[in-house]
Structure 1
Amino acid sequence: MSYFIVLLFLLPLLLVVRKKAIVSFLLLSTVLLGCTDQPLDLPTEQTETKEEVYEPNEEVVEPEEAPASEETSPAPVITGEAIIHFIDVGQGDATLLQGPDFTILIDAGRHDREDVVPYLRSVGVETIDLLVGTHPHADHIGQMDKVINAFPVKEVWMSGDSHTTQTFERVLNAIIEHEVDYYEPRAGERFDIGSLQITVVNPVNLTGDFHEGSISLVSRYGEVSLLFTGDAEKQTEEAMLSRKEPIQAQIFQLGHHGSSTSNIKRFLEAVAPEVAIYSAGLDNSYGHPHREVIDRLNTMNIPVYGTIQNGTIIITTDGKTYEINANMKTKQEEKQPEKVETSPPPTAAPSGTCIDINTASLEQLEQITHIGPERAQQLVQLRPFKSVDELTKINGIGAGRLRDIKAEGLACVN
């Protein structure tokens, strides 16, 4: 009987410290999981390859309190312009939403760069109302700890998936040290942050797959909406469609840096964007954005802008219309950026129906699926190959991509 009396006495105290306890529990779990073999964050960390295998969570505990005020009627009054910055952070993601009464950062760039905080300071950021880490990969939460250390951050959203990297630990430590409110949003929740309305469309629960758990949300300023899906891939896009999530938006930041593992046709048709934007690094080893996705968007007559060609892309809106400022990354200024086109290689493939990976030119090699400029260079350096199966020697070509290459039937060894 005395045991239950003590529990009743401690229960109110436990509820008070609930938010911090969640973060502390995540940090403790991370340390325990990684204490014997702590992985290091290296510049070559590949976020597209799924290195860990997790068992699905048996139970999802939903937070009892929403951190931001839930969406109510009438809609927020629009009193000025909002500016959305798709920040050029190389092969990573960081998007800043600034309005007359809100400052929100979705993802915070790569762990091996230091460009997010300087950019935020250059555009006058003083405090951050909401900092979102869509999922724990280091090209999305890489500089979250630096952001928390540099600015007063009122609230952090993360998916709830736990990682064992030092990057992830640093983020949790920063949240705890600065006593930042922490929350794990779920599909179906709606919030007003100032005059910006946010609708969460993913995840419903966690499976242990970081991409499936990516926080995805629609932000709406007046009549202008934007969709962010982090690294959500095909199966997650299909799940959002089956749940009939409200994903329609005029502006869509392409999933997974423009990868063909995301951005399926049915999803794009449901979003029905007027503009698509991707964030990726020049000559990245993944070949982002993938040619298949760009071709699909061009066929659908959807203009595409990307940080590779345009650097930081800025959209200004008054809540009714929007204007895109996306200069080309060259000395020659262009008034109107062109759509990303996929021009044919300057030289034809070898005779027949296959490309001999031991003799083909760089341009010819780039016709093979998953072979971009960087991988073509690696391929040439690794020659000769005894068979197509040896393409797994190339950084970023695993069993899955090898299957795609062989199924395509272009690559061969004569």
Structure 2
Amino acid sequence: MYPFKQTFFAIYFFATLLIIGGCSQEENQPNNNNENITKTTEETEINRDEDTPSPTEKQEKATHSLSELTVHYMDVGQADSTLLQYTDKGEEYTILIDAGNWNRDDVIHYLHSQNISEIDIAIGTHPDADHIGQLDKVISTFSVGEVWMSGNTSTSQTFQRLLQAIDQNEVDYYEPRRGDEFKVGPLQIDILYPISVSENDNEESISLKLTYGEVSFVFTGDASRNDELRMINGSIDVDAAILHLGHHGSNTSTHPAFLKEVSPEIAIYSAGKDNSYGHPHKEVVDLILGSNIRLYGTDVHGTIIVKTDGKNYEVLTKKDGKITPPTSGRVPLSKPEPTKKDKQEPGDKCMNINTASFEQLQEIIHLGPARAKELINLRPFTSIDELSRIKGIGPSRMEDIKAQNLACVGG
């Protein structure tokens, strides 16, 4: 069932005595085996007519005989979690990509509602708490065959709990890299990214192309636009019918060149309703709709389900809704001319990072307990940009922090 658990059997036949005993008769007796092989070939050629399927037609028939693959893009608020279910030759397969936010149990409840008891592969695209949030609970609640992670680490309690769950439940662990290929029953998995890791969590998200018959899906976690360009410059064809938009529809992802190469018919993003980050960003919505790609989002449609037999697919939504571009985006595609200093005047939603409490600081995106503690130790700050002094706060996360428009200095 699992791509790394294979058992090999070798059977040896010894016929020395028969060969020796039959050598004296070989010259005088016809080779019946060769005659039978020739006859079988001839009969195949003679009997093949217009009604006999060619190898290509047989392959097409095999594609049509695939069981139904169901892909659940769960509505888990401002977080990510996707469930895949299918069967092959009586064998059931279940794959989970990400596991929602750390402070909720909605992924666990949803898996129970689908009568899940075993998960073949659980994938945490990167260590952020809105992607691996409930993965420790998943491992402790269900029988998990393997866990795939990028290899990047985090000091967050969420990540530490996950490591403990993997160890305590003796779950197999693997870190996939670009170019890895796996067959999980009839499902083909191609790893698009990362090539290597360097603690740039978002930028080095596990990115996948899943192919079921003739229908393909692409997932990129929170990969950045630069990483998307690296994906399309690799040797793997990223063309797919369904694209899960990176980073919840943020404009830090979905480069136009990447979108063109994937050329999806459907784009889906996972985001919370009225989230503070402005996801999905206006630029991304405009790009998708302007490319005549159908757009679905969990904030508008609730849980989104795609069903396919490997040839055709259908999209089912829990709620009806239409996605229109927001009136403005939180983070522009290009850096604008500065209109105000980072040292902004405190407003109703402004949190002074020089005076905020340990608990309050954790309301700022990407500031878990460890980073909040480090922030306090590094005080005072003269600008928001100085938050990059905190370990793990790189350019992408700085953009997220500024987009949230919560942190400030002064006041």
Q: Same fold (TM over 0.5)?
A: yes
Counterpart amino acid of 1:262?
Answer: S
- Show the counterpart of 1:67: 4
- From 165, 168, 182, the counterpart of 1:177: 168
Q: Does 1:91 align with 2:78?
A: yes
Counterpart amino acid of 1:279?
Answer: S
How far apart are 1:246 and its partner, in Å?
2.0
- Show the counterpart of 1:318: 309
Q: Does 1:223 align with 2:214?
A: yes
Counterpart of 1:323 in 2: which secondary structure?
A: strand
> Under a length normalisation based on structure 2, what TM-score does the superposition of the two structures give?
0.66
Residue correspondence of structure 1 range 32-111 to structure 2 within 5 A? 67=4, 78-100=65-87, 101-111=92-102
Deviations 1:198-219 (A, max 9, x none): 0001011112201122100011
Residue correspondence of structure 1 range 107-146 to structure 2 within 5 A? 107-146=98-137
Asked whether the 8 Å contact 2:100–2:133 carries over to 1, the reply is yes
Counterpart amino acid of 1:211?
Answer: N
Asked whether the 8 Å contact 1:206–1:212 carries over to 2, the reply is no
> Under a length normalisation based on structure 1, what TM-score does the superposition of the two structures give?
0.66
Deviations 1:353-407 (A, max 9, x none): xxxxxxxxxxxxxx46449xxxxxxxxxxxxxx95544485466954659999xx
How far apart are 1:242 and its partner, in Å?
2.1
- Show the counterpart of 2:157: 166
Gap change, CA 1:112 and 1:187, over 3 Å in 2: same
How far apart are 1:327 and its partner, in Å?
3.4
Asked whether the 8 Å contact 2:119–2:144 carries over to 1, the reply is yes
Counterpart amino acid of 1:270?
Answer: E
Gap change, CA 1:291 and 1:195, over 3 Å in 2: same
Gap change, CA 1:190 and 1:326, over 3 Å in 2: same
- From 278, 283, 288, the counterpart of 1:292: 283
Gap change, CA 1:401 and 1:191, over 3 Å in 2: closer
- From 249, 253, 277, the counterpart of 2:240: 249
Deviations 1:136-164 (A, max 9, x none): 01000000010011110011100111111
1:79 and 1:298 mapped to 2: Cα distance? 32
Asked whether the 8 Å contact 1:316–1:322 carries over to 2, the reply is yes
List, as ranges, runs of 4+ consecutive aligned residues in structure 1 with deviation greater than 6 Å: 74-77, 402-405
Gap change, CA 1:342 and 1:197, over 3 Å in 2: same
Q: Does 1:194 align with 2:185?
A: yes
Asked whether the 8 Å contact 2:72–2:82 carries over to 1, the reply is yes
How far apart are 1:324 and its partner, in Å?
0.4
- Show the counterpart of 1:52: none
Asked whether the 8 Å contact 2:281–2:329 carries over to 1, the reply is no
Q: Which runs of 5+ in 2 are unaligned?
A: 7-58, 333-338, 352-363, 366-383, 386-397, 404-411
- Show the counterpart of 1:274: 265
The number of aligned residues is 293
Q: Does 1:342 align with 2:325?
A: yes
Asked whether the 8 Å contact 2:283–2:329 carries over to 1, the reply is no
Asked whether the 8 Å contact 1:233–1:261 carries over to 2, the reply is yes
Gap change, CA 1:369 and 1:171, over 3 Å in 2: closer
Gap change, CA 1:213 and 1:403, over 3 Å in 2: closer
Counterpart amino acid of 1:167?
Answer: T
1:403 and 1:126 mapped to 2: Cα distance? 38
2:145 and 2:340 mapped to 1: Cα distance? 56
Asked whether the 8 Å contact 1:68–1:193 carries over to 2, the reply is no
How far apart are 1:125 and its partner, in Å?
1.1
Asked whether the 8 Å contact 1:263–1:293 carries over to 2, the reply is yes
* Max Rg structure: 2
Gap change, CA 1:212 and 1:67, over 3 Å in 2: farther
Q: Does 1:234 align with 2:220?
A: no
2:232 and 2:218 mapped to 1: Cα distance? 14
Q: What percent identity do the matched residue pairs reach?
A: 47
Gap change, CA 1:342 and 1:163, over 3 Å in 2: same
Counterpart amino acid of 1:201?
Answer: L
Asked whether the 8 Å contact 2:99–2:124 carries over to 1, the reply is yes
Gap change, CA 1:387 and 1:193, over 3 Å in 2: closer
Asked whether the 8 Å contact 2:3–2:183 carries over to 1, the reply is no
Counterpart of 2:119 in 1: which secondary structure?
A: coil
Q: Which runs of 5+ in 1 are unaligned?
A: 1-64, 329-333, 345-366, 372-385, 406-414
Asked whether the 8 Å contact 1:90–1:279 carries over to 2, the reply is yes
Gap change, CA 1:194 and 1:90, over 3 Å in 2: same
Asked whether the 8 Å contact 1:89–1:110 carries over to 2, the reply is yes
How far apart are 1:227 and its partner, in Å?
0.2
How far apart are 1:84 and its partner, in Å?
0.3
